[in-house]
Each structure stands twice: as C-alpha cells, then as structure tokens.
Structure 1
Amino acid sequence: MTSFRDALSRRVLVADGAMGTMLQAHDPSLEDFQGLEGCNEVLNVTRPDVVAGVHDAYLSAGADVVETNTFGANWAALGEYDISHRIGELSAAGARIARERADHWSEVSGRRRYVLGSMGPGTKLPSLGHTTFAVLREGYRQNAEGLIEGGADGLIVETCQDLLQVKAAVLGARDAVAACGRDVVLVVQVTIETNGAMLLGSEIGAALGVIEPLGADVIGLNCATGPAEMSEHLRYLARHCDVAISCMPNAGLPELTADGARYPLGPSELAEAQAGFVEQFGVGLVGGCCGTTPEHIAAVARAVAGRPVAARRAAPVRGAASLYAHVPFSQDASYLAIGERTNANGSRVFREAMLAGRWEE
C-alpha cells in the first residue's frame, strides 16, 4: 500500500470535516464525559463507538484522511479540566479508533485511507505570557507520542494563532517522531482571521518564514473563515512555499441566529471552491473545518479526489520573520539592518537592566 507521504506527492487527498459538532449531535451524557462536560477527548475511552461512527461517516463519504478526536488533547486544554496527566492516554486512544476505522475502510474499498493526529492550539498562548515555551513543547511531545503510538500516519498542528505556539508544537512533534523511528508526515495549518492576519497579528509571510524552516511537510490554512477569505493567502503560499499546501476552511463565515451559529456555505459551493484551489494554487490536501459535514466532504471528494497535484513553481523569498511580518533578505541599500524596538518606557525592569548593561537579562 502507498505510504501517506507518497500519496500526498502523487494525488490530491481529501480530509474529513468538523468533529466536535458531529460528536455533540450524539448528545453525550455527563457520565460519558466522566463528569468533565465538553471534554470531547474523554469520549475516546468512554464512547469509542460514537467517535468511530464519526470517522465512518466521513470515510463512507469518500475521505482519504480522517483526523483523530484529539484537538484538545494537549497540556493547556486538558489542564482546564485538571487532567493534563492524561495527554498520552487520550491521544493514543483517539489514534487507535481512527486507525481501526481507516484500516477497515481501506480493506473494504481497496483504497488506502490515512490517519492524521490532530494537535490543537490549546488555550494558552506563550507570546502573551500565558505559559512557557518549554512547558508547551513537552506537552505537545506527549500528545504526538500518544498519536504515533496509536497508529497515526501523520500529525497535523492546526488552528494555530501564535507563531511561538507553532514552534513549541512542531518541535515537540519532531521530538516524538525522532524517538519513534517511523516516517511520520507533519502538517502545519495556521488560522488567518478576517482582518488578514493571525490572532496575534502575524501575516502569512511571517507564518511561512517561521514554519517552513522547522521542517513541516505540508503548510496550509484552516478555520476562522470560509474559502473566499483564504484565497489570497493560498496564492501567497502557492508562489513562495516549497512544500505541499493544504486548505480546510469553514463552511463560510458563521451567521448568528436564534438557534446559534449557522454556516451558510453548502456542499456544492465548498466543492467548487476547493476544486478552484486545487487547479489554481496546486493545493494537495483539502477538507473542511467548522460547519462542514459528511455531505460537504462527499461533494469535495467527487470534485477533486484522485486528481494529480497541479505542478507549480515556487519562488521562496528568503528572509527573517518577526511575530508580525516577513523581512526579505533582498537589499536596496549597502547593508540590511534588522532590529526590534526596546520597551524602555513601558517596562521599568527592562529599563534598569538596559542602563546597568545586563544584556543577557
């Protein structure tokens, strides 16, 4: 059977859609959540049948790839429930369920299906001082280790909002991959808001400048918006990204109704948009995020599944990235100065260290 890495290089692969809303539709009880209401990852051990049913729905719709029910199986998210010690257990359990269903559908259909281990952003952003880089990296290492143990073909660091969190997740994942000795594909997806930047203000060039050197195999976008709002960011990736590209949008921008959020984009509209991204930008991994259903994924699969990945000529722009922007190394002047403003007025501690010459501090 073709490996996940080989399949990505040869044809367009279709991933699944939303997980959380599908789980909630089964109306899990408080007992199912082990008293931790809303912690979907606990269902991996209490209601594996429900989780397996979600995977089956997407696989029967034509998905080549299913993501594990582990979006919140990280130090920060599980820490909200005081169960961060269960990162490895819940990650491995989620991966085993997805692996079993993917193998079943591989055998039934004669077409290999794959598992991506979902690694979400959590609730603590290191750039805002919520936690330390070292704590996050170790938590993500445990997350990735459990996913690999459970049989994931790849890891997907997704819905990223803070580039420092991205670094912690990717390096934690790479630590786990190095320890396991297996070929595990690494996908990284950032979330660009309607204002054209990540939550902390990073534009797509800065994101690419940080992520690509870390060794990601696939770089892309997911969540926050529908496909229309992702178009220009994908265009940038198509022009400048050296590795494969992915796209998993919401079913449009959510509309608030009396019954809660409604996602307006129908299956045919999502499929048309994804087909356009495949043709124009050489996107090789497509799927859905919030508001997408098996019907959406079935339409996308009919539109693009099995197509060869469109050839593109990327022209990487080498440079340095701050949290906000990418600075190319191309020079108009005789030398290029890259610096950062100091905060001597806003921080008394910083000012005193600077005046005293305590540069390391």
Structure 2
Amino acid sequence: MTPSRIAALREALATRVVVADGAMGTMLQAQNPTLDDFQQLEGCNEVLNLTRPDIVRSVHEEYFAAGVDCVETNTFGANHSALGEYDIPERVHELSEAGARVAREVADAFGARDGRQRWVLGSMGPGTKLPTLGHAPYTVLRDAYQRNAEGLVAGGADALLVETTQDLLQTKASVLGARRALDALGFD
C-alpha cells in the first residue's frame, strides 16, 4: 500500500464509477491447470499464485485489457478454514502475499503503458467454517484473517475486500482481522 495510490483510489471512489473485475475461479479453471500445478491439492486456486503465476497473471491481464480499474487478488480461499481443508492453513500469509504480488505486477505494468492508475483489491473470502455454528473458534479465524490481510498488504494490495461472508461472526472476524493488520502495519 502506498499513500498516493490509496488516496487516488479514495478520490476515484468518491468521484466516479470504479469498475472491478469479475470471476476469477472459472477463468483459472478454463486454463486447465494440472494436479501438479495444484501441488496435488486439486481445486486450491490460491496455490496457483506460486506454481502457475502465469495463469493468474493472464486472468488479471484479460480484465485490465477489457478496461477495468481494479482487479481482485486470487486469494478468495486464502483463509484458515479453506486452506485447512487442504491441510495447509499455515500458508495463509504466503499465498495471500503471492496473490497480491502477481496482481500488483500486472496493475503496474498496465499503468506504465498508458499512465492510468490501476488498483489491486485484496480478496478476503469467507472460508467454509461458521463460528456462529461452532465450526471454528472465532479467535482462530480472526487471527488467520489478520495474517491474510498482512500478506495482501505485503504483496501490494491497495485495499482489502471482505466478500461473500454468510455469518455475522465470520464477517466480524474478517473485518477485525483486517483492521488489526492495518493497524499493526501503520495503514488506514
């Protein structure tokens, strides 16, 4: 996060329509990644940030070429519960940072071509465990969302997007985790 990019994003949001990208998962799957690409973790799209950044990059490039202002990182499942289903919850920060880094590189490349600012939205998806129903402890989820946000910021996200939550306690965990990360890193 750089103060000038954040200020420019806030200004754009206040003064005009800002267009973001669309589906990530279906576009990744359309490129037929192999089981080896997934490190034998079939369907774990976030692993592609490391094993096949070219595929992830191509999705971001397609959206920017179509004229969007923002792309979301390939990190919808880079959270404790989703990665826990693959037995890799300790990789939250690593995969979040890698996803943001790929998106940032593409955004900067497109901006360098035409001078138009492009932004990266750090996607913080809901995961599959609902704390209200006792699927996972609230504090575990909150702390993992903090690692998720810290990785996204380290990789170059301009903003954090908490999306598609279905449980108010899950939403609270993600928002407070993000806030704790931003506070710890000195960002707003």
TM-score of the superposition, structure 1-length normalised? 0.50
* Greater helix fraction, Structure 1 or Structure 2: 2
5+ residue gaps, structure 1: 184-361
Equivalent of 2:120, from 115, 118, 123?
Answer: 115
Q: Which residue of 2 aligns with 1:105?
A: 110
Q: Which residue of 2 aligns with 1:16?
A: 21
Q: Which residue of 2 aligns with 1:69?
A: 74
Q: Which residue of 1 aligns with 2:167?
A: 162
Measure the CA separation in 1 of the matches of 2:187 and 2:62: 29
Q: Which residue of 2 aligns with 1:6?
A: 11
Matching residue's letter, 2:177: G
SS of 1:160's equivalent?
coil
Relative contact order, higher structure (CA 8 A, sep 6+): 2
Q: Which residue of 2 aligns with 1:306?
A: none
Measure the CA separation in 1 of the matches of 2:87 and 2:133: 22
Q: Which residue of 2 aligns with 1:178?
A: 183
1:48-59 matches, cutoff 5 A: 48-59=53-64
Equivalent of 1:40, from 45, 55, 58?
Answer: 45
Measure the CA separation in 1 of the matches of 2:182 and 2:10: 14
SS of 1:95's equivalent?
helix
Percent identity for Structure 1 against Structure 2: 67
The alpha carbon displacement at 1:70 in A equals 0.2
Measure the CA separation in 2 of the matches of 1:132 and 1:182: 27
Whether 1:30 aligns to 2:35 is yes
Whether 1:152 aligns to 2:154 is no
Q: Which residue of 2 aligns with 1:132?
A: 137
TM-score of the superposition, structure 2-length normalised? 0.95
- CA RMSD after TM alignment: 0.9
Q: 4+ residue runs of structure 1 moved beyond 6 angstroms?
A: none
The alpha carbon displacement at 1:109 in A equals 2.2
5+ residue gaps, structure 2: none
Q: Which residue of 1 aligns with 2:84?
A: 79
The alignment of Structure 1 onto Structure 2 pairs a total of residues equal to 183
SS of 1:159's equivalent?
coil
Matching residue's letter, 1:19: M
Measure the CA separation in 1 of the matches of 2:182 and 2:51: 28
- Tell me the alpha carbon deviations over residues 154-173 of structure 1, each in whole angstroms, 9 at most, x when there is no partner: 00000111111000000000
1:1-361 matches, cutoff 5 A: 3-183=8-188
- Tell me the alpha carbon deviations over residues 251-297 of structure 1, each in whole angstroms, 9 at most, x when there is no partner: xxxxxxxxxxxxxxxxxxxxxxxxxxxxxxxxxxxxxxxxxxxxxxx
